[in-house]
Protein backbone atom coordinates (compact mmCIF):
# COMPACT_ATOMS: atom_id res chain seq x y z
CA UNK A 1 0.00 0.00 0.00
CA UNK A 2 1.14 3.56 -0.67
CA UNK A 3 3.06 5.37 2.08
CA UNK A 4 1.74 8.74 0.91
CA UNK A 5 -0.82 8.92 3.71
CA UNK A 6 0.80 9.95 6.97
CA UNK A 7 -0.90 10.58 10.32
CA UNK A 8 -0.94 14.19 11.49
CA UNK A 9 -1.74 15.89 14.77
CA UNK A 10 -5.10 16.84 13.32
CA UNK A 11 -6.11 13.51 11.81
CA UNK A 12 -4.36 11.03 14.07
CA UNK A 13 -3.45 7.61 12.69
CA UNK A 14 -5.50 6.27 9.75
CA UNK A 15 -8.42 4.15 10.95
CA UNK A 16 -10.74 1.77 9.16
CA UNK A 17 -14.15 3.36 9.22
CA UNK A 18 -15.47 5.92 11.67
CA UNK A 19 -18.63 7.61 12.84
CA UNK A 20 -17.82 10.66 10.74
CA UNK A 21 -20.23 11.31 7.89
CA UNK A 22 -18.67 10.59 4.48
CA UNK A 23 -18.44 13.42 1.99
CA UNK A 24 -17.32 14.05 -1.56
CA UNK A 25 -15.00 16.69 -2.94
CA UNK A 26 -16.30 19.19 -5.49
CA UNK A 27 -15.53 18.07 -9.05
CA UNK A 28 -12.76 20.34 -10.38
CA UNK A 29 -13.85 20.06 -14.02
CA UNK A 30 -12.90 23.69 -14.80
CA UNK A 31 -9.27 23.03 -13.84
CA UNK A 32 -7.05 21.88 -16.72
CA UNK A 33 -5.11 19.66 -14.30
CA UNK A 34 -8.27 17.61 -13.81
CA UNK A 35 -7.84 16.25 -17.36
CA UNK A 36 -4.13 15.34 -17.09
CA UNK A 37 -4.34 11.65 -18.00
CA UNK A 38 -0.95 10.79 -16.55
CA UNK A 39 -1.93 12.38 -13.24
CA UNK A 40 -5.28 10.59 -13.33
CA UNK A 41 -3.58 7.23 -13.89
CA UNK A 42 -1.20 7.94 -11.00
CA UNK A 43 -4.20 8.59 -8.76
CA UNK A 44 -5.88 5.44 -10.07
CA UNK A 45 -2.78 3.49 -9.10
CA UNK A 46 -2.91 4.95 -5.58
CA UNK A 47 -6.60 4.23 -5.05
CA UNK A 48 -6.55 0.83 -6.77
CA UNK A 49 -3.69 -0.19 -4.48
CA UNK A 50 -5.88 0.53 -1.47
CA UNK A 51 -8.70 -1.49 -3.05
CA UNK A 52 -6.29 -4.37 -3.71
CA UNK A 53 -5.24 -4.57 -0.06
CA UNK A 54 -8.84 -4.47 1.19
CA UNK A 55 -11.08 -6.23 -1.40
CA UNK A 56 -14.34 -5.73 0.48
CA UNK A 57 -15.93 -4.64 -2.79
CA UNK A 58 -15.22 -7.87 -4.69
CA UNK A 59 -18.90 -8.82 -5.07
CA UNK A 60 -20.45 -5.49 -6.07
CA UNK A 61 -19.92 -5.38 -9.83
CA UNK A 62 -17.47 -6.57 -12.45
CA UNK A 63 -14.99 -3.69 -12.07
CA UNK A 64 -13.36 -4.93 -8.90
CA UNK A 65 -13.05 -8.60 -9.88
CA UNK A 66 -11.40 -7.41 -13.09
CA UNK A 67 -8.95 -5.30 -11.11
CA UNK A 68 -8.14 -8.06 -8.63
CA UNK A 69 -7.75 -10.69 -11.36
CA UNK A 70 -5.35 -8.43 -13.26
CA UNK A 71 -3.28 -7.99 -10.11
CA UNK A 72 -3.33 -11.66 -9.13
CA UNK A 73 -2.34 -12.75 -12.64
CA UNK A 74 0.41 -10.13 -13.01
CA UNK A 75 4.13 -10.86 -12.83
CA UNK A 76 4.58 -9.69 -9.22
CA UNK A 77 1.05 -10.24 -7.94
CA UNK A 78 0.94 -6.53 -7.13
CA UNK A 79 -0.48 -3.51 -8.91
CA UNK A 80 2.95 -2.23 -9.96
CA UNK A 81 3.18 -4.89 -12.68
CA UNK A 82 -0.26 -4.18 -14.16
CA UNK A 83 0.03 -1.91 -17.24
CA UNK A 84 -1.84 1.36 -16.79
CA UNK A 85 -3.45 0.76 -20.18
CA UNK A 86 -5.33 -2.11 -18.53
CA UNK A 87 -7.05 0.31 -16.15
CA UNK A 88 -9.51 0.83 -19.01
CA UNK A 89 -10.92 -2.63 -18.29
CA UNK A 90 -11.95 -1.48 -14.81
CA UNK A 91 -13.54 1.64 -16.26
CA UNK A 92 -15.44 -0.38 -18.88
CA UNK A 93 -17.32 -2.35 -16.21
CA UNK A 94 -18.25 0.65 -14.03
CA UNK A 95 -21.81 2.00 -14.21
CA UNK A 96 -21.19 4.79 -11.67
CA UNK A 97 -23.74 3.13 -9.39
CA UNK A 98 -21.95 4.55 -6.30
CA UNK A 99 -22.46 1.40 -4.25
CA UNK A 100 -18.76 0.96 -3.50
CA UNK A 101 -18.59 4.51 -2.13
CA UNK A 102 -21.84 4.24 -0.20
CA UNK A 103 -22.05 0.70 1.12
CA UNK A 104 -18.64 -0.97 1.15
CA UNK A 105 -15.60 1.26 1.31
CA UNK A 106 -14.28 2.11 4.80
CA UNK A 107 -11.78 4.56 3.31
CA UNK A 108 -14.02 7.24 1.81
CA UNK A 109 -13.47 10.85 2.92
CA UNK A 110 -12.94 11.98 5.66
CA UNK A 111 -10.63 8.97 5.99
CA UNK A 112 -7.15 10.17 4.94
CA UNK A 113 -6.95 7.45 2.25
CA UNK A 114 -9.59 9.55 0.45
CA UNK A 115 -11.04 6.79 -1.76
CA UNK A 116 -13.83 7.57 -4.23
CA UNK A 117 -13.71 5.10 -7.11
CA UNK A 118 -16.84 6.29 -8.98
CA UNK A 119 -15.61 9.87 -9.14
CA UNK A 120 -12.13 8.64 -10.02
CA UNK A 121 -13.60 6.71 -12.95
CA UNK A 122 -15.57 9.83 -13.87
CA UNK A 123 -12.34 11.84 -13.97
CA UNK A 124 -10.66 9.13 -16.05
CA UNK A 125 -13.50 9.27 -18.60
CA UNK A 126 -13.34 13.06 -18.69
CA UNK A 127 -9.57 12.94 -19.29
CA UNK A 128 -9.93 10.33 -22.03
CA UNK A 129 -12.68 12.39 -23.61
CA UNK A 130 -10.42 15.44 -23.60
CA UNK A 131 -7.92 13.38 -25.60
CA UNK A 132 -10.59 12.66 -28.22
CA UNK A 133 -11.98 9.33 -27.02
CA UNK A 134 -15.66 9.14 -28.01
CA UNK A 135 -18.19 6.35 -28.33
CA UNK A 136 -20.44 7.62 -31.10
CA UNK A 137 -23.46 5.33 -30.64
CA UNK A 138 -23.51 5.69 -26.84
CA UNK A 139 -23.38 9.46 -27.17
CA UNK A 140 -26.19 9.48 -29.71
CA UNK A 141 -28.31 7.29 -27.45
CA UNK A 142 -27.58 9.74 -24.64
CA UNK A 143 -29.19 12.62 -26.55
CA UNK A 144 -32.51 11.68 -25.00
CA UNK A 145 -34.44 14.87 -25.67
CA UNK A 146 -33.55 14.86 -29.36
CA UNK A 147 -34.37 11.16 -29.66
CA UNK A 148 -37.67 11.52 -27.83
CA UNK A 149 -38.77 14.46 -29.96
CA UNK A 150 -37.83 12.69 -33.18
CA UNK A 151 -39.62 9.48 -32.16
CA UNK A 152 -42.78 11.14 -30.82
CA UNK A 153 -44.63 11.62 -34.16
CA UNK A 154 -43.78 8.09 -35.26
CA UNK A 155 -43.87 6.30 -31.91
CA UNK A 156 -45.82 3.26 -33.14
CA UNK A 157 -43.48 2.68 -36.07
CA UNK A 158 -40.35 3.23 -33.96
CA UNK A 159 -41.56 0.79 -31.30
CA UNK A 160 -42.44 -1.87 -33.89
CA UNK A 161 -39.04 -1.54 -35.57
CA UNK A 162 -37.07 -1.68 -32.30
CA UNK A 163 -39.08 -4.50 -30.68
CA UNK A 164 -36.96 -7.48 -29.65
CA UNK A 165 -39.29 -9.85 -31.53
CA UNK A 166 -38.47 -7.97 -34.73
CA UNK A 167 -35.43 -10.19 -35.15
CA UNK A 168 -34.21 -9.14 -38.64
CA UNK A 169 -34.19 -5.43 -37.85
CA UNK A 170 -32.69 -5.91 -34.40
CA UNK A 171 -29.92 -8.08 -35.85
CA UNK A 172 -29.26 -5.37 -38.41
CA UNK A 173 -29.21 -2.74 -35.65
CA UNK A 174 -26.77 -4.88 -33.71
CA UNK A 175 -24.47 -5.22 -36.70
CA UNK A 176 -24.54 -1.51 -37.55
CA UNK A 177 -24.79 0.17 -34.13
CA UNK A 178 -23.68 -2.61 -31.75
CA UNK A 179 -26.95 -2.42 -29.79
CA UNK A 180 -27.54 -5.86 -28.33
CA UNK A 181 -30.36 -7.62 -30.21
CA UNK A 182 -31.59 -9.43 -27.09
CA UNK A 183 -32.18 -6.33 -24.97
CA UNK A 184 -35.70 -4.98 -24.49
CA UNK A 185 -35.48 -1.34 -25.55
CA UNK A 186 -37.65 1.45 -24.11
CA UNK A 187 -40.79 2.31 -26.02
CA UNK A 188 -41.83 5.81 -27.08
CA UNK A 189 -45.19 7.56 -26.82
CA UNK A 190 -46.87 10.01 -29.16
CA UNK A 191 -48.55 11.57 -26.13
CA UNK A 192 -45.84 12.44 -23.62
CA UNK A 193 -46.21 13.18 -19.93
CA UNK A 194 -45.99 16.88 -20.76
CA UNK A 195 -48.93 16.46 -23.15
CA UNK A 196 -51.01 14.45 -20.69
CA UNK A 197 -50.46 16.85 -17.79
CA UNK A 198 -50.70 20.09 -19.74
CA UNK A 199 -53.75 20.90 -17.64
CA UNK A 200 -52.73 20.45 -13.98
CA UNK A 201 -54.83 18.16 -11.79
CA UNK A 202 -56.96 20.06 -9.32
CA UNK A 203 -55.93 19.40 -5.71
CA UNK A 204 -58.44 17.49 -3.61
CA UNK A 205 -59.99 20.02 -1.20
CA UNK A 206 -60.54 17.21 1.31
CA UNK A 207 -56.93 16.06 1.10
CA UNK A 208 -54.96 16.33 4.34
CA UNK A 209 -52.27 18.51 2.72
CA UNK A 210 -54.71 20.86 0.95
CA UNK A 211 -53.39 24.40 1.02
CA UNK A 212 -50.16 23.23 2.66
CA UNK A 213 -47.95 21.98 -0.17
CA UNK A 214 -47.14 22.81 -3.79
CA UNK A 215 -45.06 20.56 -6.02
CA UNK A 216 -43.22 21.04 -9.29
CA UNK A 217 -42.79 17.54 -10.75
CA UNK A 218 -39.55 17.19 -12.70
CA UNK A 219 -40.75 14.80 -15.39
CA UNK A 220 -37.27 13.52 -16.44
CA UNK A 221 -36.59 12.56 -20.04
CA UNK A 222 -37.36 8.89 -19.53
CA UNK A 223 -40.74 9.50 -17.93
CA UNK A 224 -41.73 12.20 -20.38
CA UNK A 225 -40.98 10.23 -23.55
CA UNK A 226 -40.94 6.57 -22.45
CA UNK A 227 -43.04 6.12 -19.28
CA UNK A 228 -45.64 8.92 -19.08
CA UNK A 229 -47.87 6.81 -16.82
CA UNK A 230 -45.37 7.42 -14.02
CA UNK A 231 -45.93 11.18 -14.17
CA UNK A 232 -49.71 10.78 -14.39
CA UNK A 233 -49.68 8.43 -11.39
CA UNK A 234 -47.52 10.81 -9.35
CA UNK A 235 -49.72 13.80 -10.17
CA UNK A 236 -52.83 11.82 -9.22
CA UNK A 237 -51.45 10.62 -5.89
CA UNK A 238 -50.25 14.08 -4.90
CA UNK A 239 -53.48 15.78 -6.01
CA UNK A 240 -55.48 13.28 -3.95
CA UNK A 241 -53.54 14.43 -0.89
CA UNK A 242 -54.56 18.01 -1.66
CA UNK A 243 -51.19 19.03 -3.09
CA UNK A 244 -51.07 21.58 -5.88
CA UNK A 245 -49.11 19.96 -8.73
CA UNK A 246 -47.57 21.15 -11.97
CA UNK A 247 -45.30 19.24 -14.35
CA UNK A 248 -42.05 20.97 -15.29
CA UNK A 249 -39.57 19.61 -17.81
CA UNK A 250 -36.91 21.99 -19.13
CA UNK A 251 -34.50 19.29 -20.36
CA UNK A 252 -32.65 16.06 -19.46
CA UNK A 253 -30.59 16.13 -16.26
CA UNK A 254 -27.47 14.96 -18.12
CA UNK A 255 -26.88 11.58 -16.51
CA UNK A 256 -25.90 10.08 -19.92
CA UNK A 257 -23.40 12.91 -20.38
CA UNK A 258 -22.05 12.41 -16.86
CA UNK A 259 -21.46 8.74 -17.62
CA UNK A 260 -19.55 9.81 -20.74
CA UNK A 261 -17.38 12.28 -18.80
CA UNK A 262 -18.82 15.34 -20.56
CA UNK A 263 -18.89 17.51 -17.44
CA UNK A 264 -19.16 20.85 -19.23
CA UNK A 265 -22.40 19.66 -20.81
CA UNK A 266 -23.74 18.50 -17.44
CA UNK A 267 -22.84 21.84 -15.83
CA UNK A 268 -24.75 23.69 -18.53
CA UNK A 269 -27.84 21.56 -17.95
CA UNK A 270 -27.61 22.07 -14.19
CA UNK A 271 -27.42 25.82 -14.63
CA UNK A 272 -30.33 26.00 -17.10
CA UNK A 273 -32.65 23.64 -15.21
CA UNK A 274 -31.92 25.34 -11.87
CA UNK A 275 -32.74 28.69 -13.46
CA UNK A 276 -36.17 27.39 -14.52
CA UNK A 277 -36.94 26.01 -11.07
CA UNK A 278 -35.59 29.02 -9.12
CA UNK A 279 -38.77 31.16 -9.25
CA UNK A 280 -40.91 28.12 -8.40
CA UNK A 281 -38.79 27.35 -5.34
CA UNK A 282 -38.97 31.00 -4.31
CA UNK A 283 -42.75 30.76 -4.66
CA UNK A 284 -42.87 27.83 -2.20
CA UNK A 285 -42.86 24.84 -4.53
CA UNK A 286 -41.12 21.62 -3.56
CA UNK A 287 -39.36 19.87 -6.45
CA UNK A 288 -40.06 16.16 -6.91
CA UNK A 289 -38.03 13.95 -9.25
CA UNK A 290 -39.67 10.91 -10.83
CA UNK A 291 -36.66 8.67 -11.41
CA UNK A 292 -33.81 7.80 -9.06
CA UNK A 293 -30.93 8.77 -11.36
CA UNK A 294 -32.32 12.24 -11.96
CA UNK A 295 -32.96 12.76 -8.26
CA UNK A 296 -29.36 11.76 -7.56
CA UNK A 297 -28.09 14.24 -10.15
CA UNK A 298 -30.13 17.13 -8.78
CA UNK A 299 -29.49 16.42 -5.11
CA UNK A 300 -25.84 15.38 -5.15
CA UNK A 301 -23.97 15.48 -8.47
CA UNK A 302 -24.99 18.94 -9.67
CA UNK A 303 -23.90 20.68 -6.43
CA UNK A 304 -20.47 19.02 -6.74
CA UNK A 305 -20.17 20.20 -10.34
CA UNK A 306 -21.53 23.72 -9.69
CA UNK A 307 -20.78 24.32 -5.96
CA UNK A 308 -20.85 28.12 -6.35
CA UNK A 309 -24.16 28.32 -8.20
CA UNK A 310 -26.79 29.44 -5.66
CA UNK A 311 -29.70 28.27 -7.83
CA UNK A 312 -28.21 24.77 -8.14
CA UNK A 313 -27.67 24.58 -4.37
CA UNK A 314 -31.24 25.77 -3.72
CA UNK A 315 -32.61 23.20 -6.17
CA UNK A 316 -30.62 20.45 -4.46
CA UNK A 317 -32.13 21.38 -1.09
CA UNK A 318 -35.66 21.56 -2.51
CA UNK A 319 -35.58 18.23 -4.39
CA UNK A 320 -37.21 15.01 -3.18
CA UNK A 321 -37.73 11.61 -4.77
CA UNK A 322 -41.42 10.96 -5.45
CA UNK A 323 -41.68 8.07 -2.98
CA UNK A 324 -39.65 9.96 -0.40
CA UNK A 325 -42.12 12.84 -0.77
CA UNK A 326 -45.23 10.69 -0.34
CA UNK A 327 -43.77 9.25 2.87
CA UNK A 328 -43.01 12.80 4.01
CA UNK A 329 -46.62 13.82 3.36
CA UNK A 330 -47.92 10.81 5.24
CA UNK A 331 -45.83 11.61 8.29
CA UNK A 332 -46.74 15.30 8.26
CA UNK A 333 -50.44 15.16 7.39
CA UNK A 334 -51.61 11.56 6.96
CA UNK A 335 -52.98 10.24 3.67
CA UNK A 336 -56.32 10.46 1.93
CA UNK A 337 -58.24 7.22 2.70
CA UNK A 338 -59.16 4.76 -0.01
CA UNK A 339 -56.03 2.66 -0.55
CA UNK A 340 -56.96 -0.95 -1.42
CA UNK A 341 -54.71 -4.03 -1.13
CA UNK A 342 -52.56 -4.96 -4.13
CA UNK A 343 -53.34 -8.51 -5.17
CA UNK A 344 -50.41 -10.87 -5.53
CA UNK A 345 -47.96 -8.72 -3.59
CA UNK A 346 -45.14 -6.49 -4.77
CA UNK A 347 -41.39 -7.01 -5.11
CA UNK A 348 -39.48 -3.76 -5.01
CA UNK A 349 -36.00 -3.51 -6.44
CA UNK A 350 -34.23 -0.74 -4.52
CA UNK A 351 -32.21 0.82 -7.34
CA UNK A 352 -28.58 1.79 -6.74
CA UNK A 353 -29.20 5.47 -7.53
CA UNK A 354 -32.01 5.52 -4.97
CA UNK A 355 -29.75 3.88 -2.39
CA UNK A 356 -27.00 6.39 -3.24
CA UNK A 357 -29.32 9.21 -2.14
CA UNK A 358 -28.88 7.88 1.40
CA UNK A 359 -32.55 8.37 2.27
CA UNK A 360 -33.44 4.77 3.09
CA UNK A 361 -35.80 2.50 1.19
CA UNK A 362 -38.53 5.11 0.83
CA UNK A 363 -40.27 3.24 -1.98
CA UNK A 364 -40.73 0.21 0.26
CA UNK A 365 -41.84 2.45 3.11
CA UNK A 366 -44.43 4.04 0.83
CA UNK A 367 -45.73 0.73 -0.54
CA UNK A 368 -46.11 -0.63 2.99
CA UNK A 369 -48.66 2.11 3.59
CA UNK A 370 -51.01 0.12 1.34
CA UNK A 371 -53.11 -2.10 3.63
CA UNK A 372 -52.87 -5.91 3.56
CA UNK A 373 -50.21 -5.95 0.83
CA UNK A 374 -47.07 -8.06 0.90
CA UNK A 375 -44.06 -5.94 -0.01
CA UNK A 376 -40.73 -7.69 -0.61
CA UNK A 377 -37.45 -5.79 -0.96
CA UNK A 378 -34.43 -6.65 -3.12
CA UNK A 379 -31.33 -4.53 -2.53
CA UNK A 380 -28.86 -5.65 -5.15
CA UNK A 381 -27.59 -3.99 -8.31
CA UNK A 382 -29.58 -4.77 -11.45
CA UNK A 383 -26.44 -4.33 -13.54
CA UNK A 384 -28.16 -2.13 -16.10
CA UNK A 385 -26.73 1.40 -15.92
CA UNK A 386 -28.24 3.24 -18.92
CA UNK A 387 -26.47 2.44 -22.19
CA UNK A 388 -24.30 -0.06 -20.29
CA UNK A 389 -27.14 -2.56 -20.40
CA UNK A 390 -27.87 -1.90 -24.07
CA UNK A 391 -24.57 -2.01 -25.94
CA UNK A 392 -23.30 -5.33 -27.30
CA UNK A 393 -19.92 -4.85 -25.59
CA UNK A 394 -21.34 -4.41 -22.08
CA UNK A 395 -24.81 -6.02 -22.10
CA UNK A 396 -23.34 -9.44 -21.17
CA UNK A 397 -21.75 -7.87 -18.09
CA UNK A 398 -25.09 -6.22 -17.24
CA UNK A 399 -26.74 -9.63 -17.43
CA UNK A 400 -23.99 -11.23 -15.36
CA UNK A 401 -24.27 -8.64 -12.58
CA UNK A 402 -28.08 -8.52 -12.66
CA UNK A 403 -28.65 -12.26 -12.57
CA UNK A 404 -28.24 -12.46 -8.77
CA UNK A 405 -30.87 -9.76 -8.26
CA UNK A 406 -33.18 -11.46 -10.77
CA UNK A 407 -32.93 -14.71 -8.82
CA UNK A 408 -33.92 -12.88 -5.67
CA UNK A 409 -36.88 -11.29 -7.46
CA UNK A 410 -37.99 -14.71 -8.75
CA UNK A 411 -37.76 -16.21 -5.27
CA UNK A 412 -40.18 -13.59 -3.93
CA UNK A 413 -42.88 -14.93 -6.29
CA UNK A 414 -45.05 -11.81 -6.34
CA UNK A 415 -47.31 -10.66 -9.17
CA UNK A 416 -45.85 -7.15 -9.33
CA UNK A 417 -42.27 -5.98 -9.84
CA UNK A 418 -41.23 -2.36 -9.47
CA UNK A 419 -38.06 -0.33 -9.15
CA UNK A 420 -37.08 3.28 -8.52
CA UNK A 421 -35.24 2.93 -11.85
CA UNK A 422 -37.49 2.02 -14.81
CA UNK A 423 -34.61 0.62 -16.86
CA UNK A 424 -33.58 -1.63 -13.98
CA UNK A 425 -37.15 -2.89 -13.69
CA UNK A 426 -37.33 -3.78 -17.39
CA UNK A 427 -33.89 -5.41 -17.26
CA UNK A 428 -34.71 -7.54 -14.20
CA UNK A 429 -38.04 -8.59 -15.64
CA UNK A 430 -36.34 -9.80 -18.79
CA UNK A 431 -33.58 -11.58 -16.85
CA UNK A 432 -36.05 -13.25 -14.54
CA UNK A 433 -37.97 -14.85 -17.38
CA UNK A 434 -35.14 -15.53 -19.83
CA UNK A 435 -32.47 -16.75 -17.44
CA UNK A 436 -34.03 -17.59 -14.11
CA UNK A 437 -37.53 -18.93 -14.62
CA UNK A 438 -37.96 -19.65 -18.34
CA UNK A 439 -40.91 -21.91 -17.56
CA UNK A 440 -42.90 -19.03 -16.08
CA UNK A 441 -46.01 -18.42 -18.17
CA UNK A 442 -46.89 -15.05 -16.70
CA UNK A 443 -44.17 -12.51 -15.87
CA UNK A 444 -44.82 -10.04 -13.04
CA UNK A 445 -46.40 -6.75 -13.97
CA UNK A 446 -43.63 -4.14 -14.18
CA UNK A 447 -44.04 -0.52 -13.15
CA UNK A 448 -42.76 2.32 -11.01
CA UNK A 449 -43.66 2.17 -7.28
CA UNK A 450 -45.77 5.33 -7.57
CA UNK A 451 -47.87 3.65 -10.28
CA UNK A 452 -48.62 0.75 -7.93
CA UNK A 453 -49.53 3.23 -5.19
CA UNK A 454 -51.80 5.14 -7.58
CA UNK A 455 -53.54 1.91 -8.67
CA UNK A 456 -54.20 1.13 -5.01
CA UNK A 457 -56.43 4.21 -5.07
CA UNK A 458 -58.22 2.80 -8.15
CA UNK A 459 -57.65 2.92 -11.94
CA UNK A 460 -56.01 6.03 -13.32
Using a pLDDT cut of 90, give the percent of the chain over it: 90
Q: What is the structure's pLDDT at 435?
A: 62
400-446 pLDDT tens trace: 999 999 999 999 999 999 999 999 999 999 998 876 655 555 789 99
Residue 9 has pLDDT above 80, yes or no: no
Task: Please tell me the pTM assigned to this model.
Answer: 0.92
Lowest mean pLDDT among 148-152, 180-184, 285-289, 442-446: 442-446
Nearest Cα to 241, choosing from 284, 211, 198?
211
Determine the average pLDDT of the residues in 28-45. 98
352: left (phi over 0), alpha (psi -120 to 50) or beta: alpha
Kindly indicate the confidence band of residue 175, based on its pLDDT and cuts at 50, 70 and 90: very high
Query: 3-state SS string over the chain?
Result: CCCCCCCECCCECCCCCCCCCCCCCCCCCCCHHHHCHHHHHHHHHHHHHHHHHHCCCCCCCCHHHHHHHHHHCCCCCCHHHCCHHHHHHHHHCCCCCCHHHHHHCCCCCCCCCCCCHHHHHHHHHHHHHHCCCCCHHHHHHCCHHHHHHHHHHHHHHHHHHHCCCCHHHHHHHHHHHCECCCCCCCCCCCCCHHHHCCCCCCCCCCCCCCCCCEEEEECCHHHHHCCHHHHHHHHHHHHHCCCEEEEECCCCCCHHHHHCCCHHHHHHHHHHHHHHHHHHHHCCEEEEECCHHHHHHHHHHHHHHCCCCHHHHHHHHHEEEHHHHHHHHHHHHCCCCCCCCCCCCEEEECCHHHHCCCCCCHHHHHHCCCCCCCEEEECCCCCCCHHHHCECCCHHHHHHHHHHHHHHHHHHCCCEEEECCHHHHHHHHHHHHHHHCCCCCCCCEEECHHHHHHHHCCCC
pLDDT band at 386 (very low <50, low <70, confident <90, very high): confident
- Give the per-residue pLDDT at 441: 54
Distance CA 100, CA 285 (A): 34
Query: Is the bond leading into 110 cis (omega within 30 degrees of zero)?
Result: yes
Position 18 confidence tier, pLDDT thresholds 50, 70, 90: low
Is the CB of residue 254 less than 8 Å from the CB of residue 270?
A: yes
For 335, residues 6+ apart whose C-beta sits below 8 A from its C-beta are: 208, 241, 326, 329, 369
Confidence of residue 2 (pLDDT cuts 50, 70, 90): very low
The per-residue pLDDT for range 86-95, each reduced to its tens digit, is 999 999 999 9
Q: What is the pLDDT of residue 440?
A: 54
| Whole-angstrom distance, CA of residue 285 vs CA of residue 280 | 5
**pLDDT class of 10 with cuts at 50, 70, 90:** very low
What mean pLDDT is predicted for residues 52-67? Answer: 94
pLDDT tens string 238-281: 999 999 999 999 999 999 999 999 999 999 999 999 999 999 99
Average pLDDT value for residue range 191-197? 97
β-bridge partners, 12: 8
pLDDT at 197: 97
Mean pLDDT of the 21-27 span: 93
Residue 67 predicted with pLDDT over 50: yes
Average of per-residue pLDDT values in the chain: 93
Give the pLDDT score at 1: 39
Q: From CA 340, how far away is CA 282, in angstroms rounded?
A: 37
Report the candidate in 208, 281, 213, 219 with the shortest Cα–Cα distance to residue 244: 213
- Residue 11 predicted with pLDDT over 70: no
Amino acid sequence: MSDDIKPTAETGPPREGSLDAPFRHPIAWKDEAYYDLAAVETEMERQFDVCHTCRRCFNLCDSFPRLFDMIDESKTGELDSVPKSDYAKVDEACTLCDMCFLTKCPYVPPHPFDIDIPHLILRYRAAKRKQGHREFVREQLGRTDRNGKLAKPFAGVVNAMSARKNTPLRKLLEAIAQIDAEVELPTYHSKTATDRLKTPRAPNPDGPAFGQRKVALYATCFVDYNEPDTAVAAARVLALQGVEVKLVYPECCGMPQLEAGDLKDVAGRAERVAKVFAPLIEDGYDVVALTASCGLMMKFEWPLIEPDNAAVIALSAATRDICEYVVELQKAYGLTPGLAPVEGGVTLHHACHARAQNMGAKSAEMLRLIPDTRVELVERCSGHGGTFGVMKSTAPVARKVGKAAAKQVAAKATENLCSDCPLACKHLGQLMIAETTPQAAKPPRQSHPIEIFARAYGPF
